[in-house]
């Protein structure tokens, strides 16, 4: 046995190395399933979606957008003053209360931004300043989150009229403030393989990655000819880009964006392989609004896979 005076420094060094590793770096398999809902116009309700009681299920409302909404003028960036743009007639606070009562394993989040709205009008991240955007966002989102009894937020800005440092500071301060105020208990980001998107989200991850609980990486943005081997490479690449994070795998049922590794090309085989490697941190699907046409078959399969031992 080594002398005590030699052993103690070694133990201190080992401990310092351990605590320097991001908290999620040792994460194993998860039973987390996430589903975006509310972006379509076909009145899909929470009760339409099958919920397996043996998974942790997150509904993500798509979207809350900081744009003006008036009849007098065209929509314009609103500097962090968010409005609910999802199907608020169907997905109401009352429905959420009922959902949570019926399914204790369900939590809800809202997603910020998205690609476009209305007549394909792009959603831009455009703060007038960091301080004003954060103040407005904290205030407006706190009101919405409390009204709808939500548990978290998801960041899905895809177009930018501000630099990566500004994006990182705005989003990072928003997430940390909402968590500190106990308004939310979790936060996620939803990047995809695109130069501008990568630059902005990597800047956010570098500075505030410890505040982000999940990475909803949009693997369906890759080409639809993706095979299992290519997908495995993409997963490893993004796991390194967001090192220490819980990178979820993804599937789209929206025919306009259903690329990546498709179910018929081995998506669930790849999920099983990740599970065998203790790397399956969860699955998310875009989106319930489109899945209803096939009876939510992929949602059922994904949850069954996650729930199995």
Strand partners, 109: 60, 152
In this structure, what token pair is assigned to residue 287? 């989106």
* Alpha-carbon distance values, 198 to 9, 24, 163, 190 (Å): 40, 20, 12, 11
User: What is d(CA 85, CA 83) in angstroms, rounded to the nearest whole number?
Assistant: 6
Distance spanning both ends of the chain, measured CA to CA? 41
Nearest to 166 by CA among 198, 192, 129, 196: 129
CA distance 105 to 126: 36
> What pLDDT, on a 0 to 100 scale, did the predictor assign at position 26?
47
**pLDDT above 90 as % of the chain:** 85
SS3 121: strand
CA-nearest of 214, 149, 228, 160 to 184 is 149
Nearest Cα residue to 49 out of 58, 71, 41: 58
Between CA 190 and CA 246 the distance in angstroms is: 12
| CA distance linking residue 279 with residue 263, whole number of Å | 19
- Let me know if 158 is a catalytic residue: yes
Cβ(21)–Cβ(271) below 8 Å: no
CA distance 99 to 106: 8
For 28-307, which CATH superfamily applies? Glycosidases (3.20.20.80)
pLDDT of residue 25: 46
Q: Look at residue 22 in the predicted model and tell me its pLDDT.
A: 45
Q: Write out the two tokens for 183.
A: 């308004």
DSSP state of 123: P
Q: What distance separates the 2 farthest-apart alpha carbons in the chain?
A: 80
Catalytic residue among 158, 169, 193, 237: 158
The ranges of the chain with pLDDT < 50 are: 1-26
Are the beta carbons of 85 and 63 closer than 8 angstroms? yes
Q: Are 68 and 76 in contact (CB under 8 A)?
A: yes
User: Residue 292 forms beta bridges with which residues?
Assistant: none
d(C-alpha 24, C-alpha 32), whole Å: 14
Rounded-to-integer distance, Cα 276 and Cα 190, Å: 25
């Amino acid at each position: 046995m080594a002398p005590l005076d030699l052993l103690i420094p070694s133990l201190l060094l080992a401990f310092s190395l351990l605590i320097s590793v991001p908290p999620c770096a040792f994460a194993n398999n998860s039973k987390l399933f996430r589903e975006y809902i509310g972006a379509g116009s076909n009145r899909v309700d929470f009760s339409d979606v099958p919920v397996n009681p043996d998974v942790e299920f997150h509904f993500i409302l798509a979207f809350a957008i900081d744009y003006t909404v008036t009849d007098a003028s065209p929509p314009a960036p609103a500097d962090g003053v968010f409005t609910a743009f999802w199907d608020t007639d169907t997905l109401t606070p009352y429905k959420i209360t009922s959902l949570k009562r019926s399914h204790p394993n369900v939590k809800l989040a809202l997603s910020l931004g998205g690609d476009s709205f209305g007549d394909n009008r792009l959603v831009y991240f455009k703060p007038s300043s960091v301080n004003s955007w954060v103040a407005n966002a904290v205030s407006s989102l706190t009101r919405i989150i409390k009204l709808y009894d939500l548990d978290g937020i998801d960041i899905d800005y895809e177009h930018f009229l501000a630099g990566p440092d500004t994006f990182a500071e705005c989003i990072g301060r928003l997430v940390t403030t909402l968590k500190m105020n106990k308004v939310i208990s979790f936060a996620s980001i939803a990047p995809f393989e695109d130069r501008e998107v990568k630059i902005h989200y990597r800047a956010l991850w570098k500075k505030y990655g410890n505040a982000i609980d999940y990475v909803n990486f949009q693997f369906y943005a890759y080409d639809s000819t993706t095979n299992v081997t290519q997908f495995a490479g993409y997963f490893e690449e993004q796991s390194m880009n967001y090192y220490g994070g819980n990178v979820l795998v993804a599937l789209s049922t929206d025919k306009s964006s259903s690329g990546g590794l498709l179910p018929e090309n081995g998506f669930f085989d790849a999920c099983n392989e990740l599970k065998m490697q203790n790397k399956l941190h969860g699955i998310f699907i875009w989106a319930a609004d489109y899945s209803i046409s096939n009876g939510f078959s992929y949602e059922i399969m994904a949850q069954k896979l996650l729930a199995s031992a």
